[in-house]
Structure 1
């Protein structure tokens, strides 16, 4: 039986809607202006995506998401890419939201996902390190247990939209040398952001942590497997954005 690769009428309508919103709230002139804005994205467009339920499009409905399919998400990302829209959607909703949905405790999911899915709070992920590549072996940041959680030390680079984020999900090694993910509040002590200049003029930061307080996401020893599963989904959407 041949595989049906055609979009449904609902998905065609979704594409038209996203294209219209992008054209209205983030035209090319706005994209150019955002190159010099440390925030790096249109808050007007972000608000519209939230009203349409598209920020949490892949997140579970029980936590405020829309529970849409990956094909739906591909449709959305294709239109965002066509309009060259800079947005924290990938790092906040797809990566951070996906990591919390897959690996967080019940309490963490119910605490963090609703505001993330609505767009009220923006998250980012801090994984890659100077010269560390894209493998688990490249993670050298350390997590040390404290009386009320953990403290993190290390340097992360290419952290997208860090200046706009309320929380960062940081990959670090614990006492058992396994990589876990840790939540750091943007206003935490001993957290420093330095904007990186990129060829694309997009919003990326170096993040320096020096015994910065943090909370572990989910169970010990599950962080890297969770990251790999979620990253696979994000790569598919990046490809759709580039079409």
Structure 2
């Protein structure tokens, strides 16, 4: 695929690449994810200062006039360093809701807070029994005067331990799996009745189980149309999938490079294992998987503004292809590294974990294969 970036985008890529190299070495990252906080607010502040957090937003909304391609560039570089700071939950997901459906007041308050790095947002959408179905909701939002009362449980809310605000999907009418009757709200995490249980994920990030117990929110916390938010949620999650596909490509590129370098250094029977033809074939296949994934990542990003059906099919195709490639590259990297690859000291194990978890976010390979076929 012939794809040329603008001069400004190349400058952003170069700057981010340098930042990740200098600030996200393997040892530094291990120390960060093992710390009590699990992330570095100073890095987030630096990203805000560099304008990275404002890139996907229009100038009218207080951003720098970029879009999905800019998010793709950012996430690919983040993937190379396994950056844990919550760009997707805050900028892509929360920012996407405000960008596409927020009122003027919501945009002024929330997008400006995202761009400045003042607030962290988490997207609370998944439920324990949902199985990737965005319409399968038991969390409810009942009308109460001019506002709403939220009750329910959201599972594996990435970045929630760091978040100041939550973007929540809830059912305002209808039955559990109805496509209609779904709404989106934004609320301060410190609101009475919000209870969280925080934990570390397998790939080194932080998440929470979030419980809403008679949480009162004002009417202006509603984002978009009451009861008609499913198309909006699908659009934002497709944007998040495209961003994470780019992240997976960055991680796969580094995993391939690490594996190739290791094969040149590790000796067996007196020669580097990279001399063995069978391993050369496997690493060639890994490279091919990566190159195909990059092309699919670009395609998915370019189709985010296409008609709904075309967008969904393309994003699902990318998620399937990149999910398969991430699984294969992760597995092959560990096997070629041998037992060393599973130790915490070797960085390849951390890339393996992130590439493995990628498949489960916003729908796994099986889910997106079914969605792709259903839209034929």
Q: TM-score, normalised by structure 2?
A: 0.61
Aligned residue in 2 for 1:34: 32
Aligned residue in 1 for 2:14: 16
Higher relative contact order (CA 8 A, sep 6+): 1
The answer to whether structure 1 residue 186 and structure 2 residue 192 are counterparts is: no
> Following the alignment from structure 1 to structure 2, what is the Cα–Cα distance between the partners of residues 59 and 8?
17
Q: More helix per residue: 1 or 2? A: 2
> Following the alignment from structure 1 to structure 2, what is the Cα–Cα distance between the partners of residues 242 and 192?
32
The answer to whether structure 1 residue 199 and structure 2 residue 205 are counterparts is: no
> Following the alignment from structure 1 to structure 2, what is the Cα–Cα distance between the partners of residues 111 and 11?
27
> Following the alignment from structure 1 to structure 2, what is the Cα–Cα distance between the partners of residues 83 and 157?
26
Question: C-alpha displacement at 1:148, in angstroms?
Answer: 4.1
Q: Residues 148 and 35 (structure 1 numbering): CA distance in 2 closer, same or farther, change over 3 Å? A: same
Partner secondary structure for residue 184 of structure 1: strand
> Following the alignment from structure 2 to structure 1, what is the Cα–Cα distance between the partners of residues 114 and 25?
25
Map 1:136-175 → 2, pairs under 5 A: 136-175=134-173
Aligned residue in 2 for 1:55: 53
> Following the alignment from structure 2 to structure 1, what is the Cα–Cα distance between the partners of residues 216 and 27?
40
> Following the alignment from structure 1 to structure 2, what is the Cα–Cα distance between the partners of residues 43 and 36?
15
> Following the alignment from structure 1 to structure 2, what is the Cα–Cα distance between the partners of residues 8 and 183?
35
> Following the alignment from structure 1 to structure 2, what is the Cα–Cα distance between the partners of residues 17 and 197?
29
Q: Whose Rg is larger?
A: 2
Aligned residue in 2 for 1:208: 211
Question: C-alpha displacement at 1:40, in angstroms?
Answer: 3.0
Aligned residue in 1 for 2:355: none
Aligned residue in 2 for 1:85: 83
Unmatched runs of 5 consecutive residues or more in structure 2: 176-180, 250-376
C-alpha contact 1:40 1:87 (8 A) present in aligned 2? no
Aligned residue in 2 for 1:221: 227
Question: C-alpha displacement at 1:73, in angstroms?
Answer: 2.1
Partner secondary structure for residue 181 of structure 1: strand
* Root mean square deviation, CA, Å: 1.8
> Following the alignment from structure 1 to structure 2, what is the Cα–Cα distance between the partners of residues 233 and 81?
16
Partner secondary structure for residue 206 of structure 1: strand
> Following the alignment from structure 1 to structure 2, what is the Cα–Cα distance between the partners of residues 60 and 238?
21
Unmatched runs of 5 consecutive residues or more in structure 1: none
Question: C-alpha displacement at 1:147, in angstroms?
Answer: 2.5
Map 1:85-124 → 2, pairs under 5 A: 85-124=83-122
Aligned residue in 2 for 1:242: 248
Q: TM-score, normalised by structure 1?
A: 0.92
C-alpha contact 2:57 2:67 (8 A) present in aligned 1? no
Aligned residue in 2 for 1:233: 239
